[in-house]
Structure 1
Amino acid sequence: MSEATDNKEVAKQELLSSNINITESAQGYLAELLAKQQTDGIGVRIFVENAGTPRAECCMSYSQPDEHNESDLRLDYSHFSAYIDSASIPYLQDAVIDYNADRFGGQLTFRAPNSKVPQVGENATIEERIHYVLQSEINPSLAAHGGVVELAELIEEEGVGLTAVLKFGGGCQGCSAVDVTLREGVEVQLKQQIPELTQVVDETDHSQTENAYYQ
């Protein structure tokens, strides 16, 4: 590898970072699997399919030497390198890959709490914070009934304040219990975590879009 290529790789690694934790036991297990492939330079590639959705799935595959993606973040371990899909990095924050040995051979586990929705930062917009609460806390509960809720628009009105207009779908759409769900669950939870909101309504109750800045 040339010096120019090395410098480019260093610069890329400085721009990208990940706190994914591959435990020592998992490293040992993966190293054994990779050794069985008898291919110099083979590593593992880690990524999230359908990232940021309720269908998100964390994946790991072999990464052949001639298949390494230049945009991936490379993490070097004692006996192999892991290549993190750059687009998946936000969804793999705080992820842990572990291996627990037992008499049946053991099990590799992959926990990624932010795979369905990336963790929001201190400077996140109100829209991003609402989306985070909906996807990470509210929708998992509604999913048990086949329902889903998303932010339709965010409206600032003089004398009223900030209104979040929500759209219910799936099993919640047309359900007579939507109003109860909204008032007793979703609205309370959103207001607790996002105090800037003055009210939360179902889109069927609020059709004004003139002042909307999120659609």
Structure 2
Amino acid sequence: MNHLAHAYLSFHQPELITGNLIADFVKGKKNLSTYEAGIQQGIRIHRAIDTFTDQHPVTGKAKVFFRPSCGLYSGVFTDLVYDHFLATDPDRFTNESLYSFARYVYNEITLREQLLPPAFLQMFQYMQQYNWLYNYHTTEGMSSAFRGVARRAKYLETDGAVVFAVFMEHYAALKECYQVFFPQLQTYVENLLLMENR
């Protein structure tokens, strides 16, 4: 769910952005091999980001806040929270640069849409229409994102508004989790790309 983080950690490389965003819709090595090398690399980076994030102790700490309200979905909502704090991180974005970055990402994906999985394109239509990447920076946008996840979550019985209230109640503590975690994630991805591109 952390679409903004995946796009941001592609470092303005169009094929990496594409692979990073479609990765959840590409299953198995056979399907991976149908894409060009740069997109394949983006898919691998996406999977490495997910593994690093899921196994990081700070992510575990953040999930604890959500677990009582949403159980196994706590990781999904933690991902969303990381995107909010990335979008509002003054060292990384202003409102204007976030808006420009979102438009850049949408344009790059649109240029390659004939190559991409139909299920991804269906989601991407909503991402672009409602400007998810940009709207993660507002609490209104996050409220909408939480409700959307809750609507689509097959086994979640809690209303999205309840989970959003948890986010707002623990906002400062969750922000601290992001501030510790995200620089470590960025360093990890940068090192991974250096090794892959040797």
Normalized against structure 1, the TM-score is what? 0.21
Normalized against structure 2, the TM-score is what? 0.22
- Higher alpha-carbon Rg: 1
> Which structure exhibits the higher relative contact order, with contacts defined as CA atoms closer than 8 Å and separated by 6 or more residues?
2
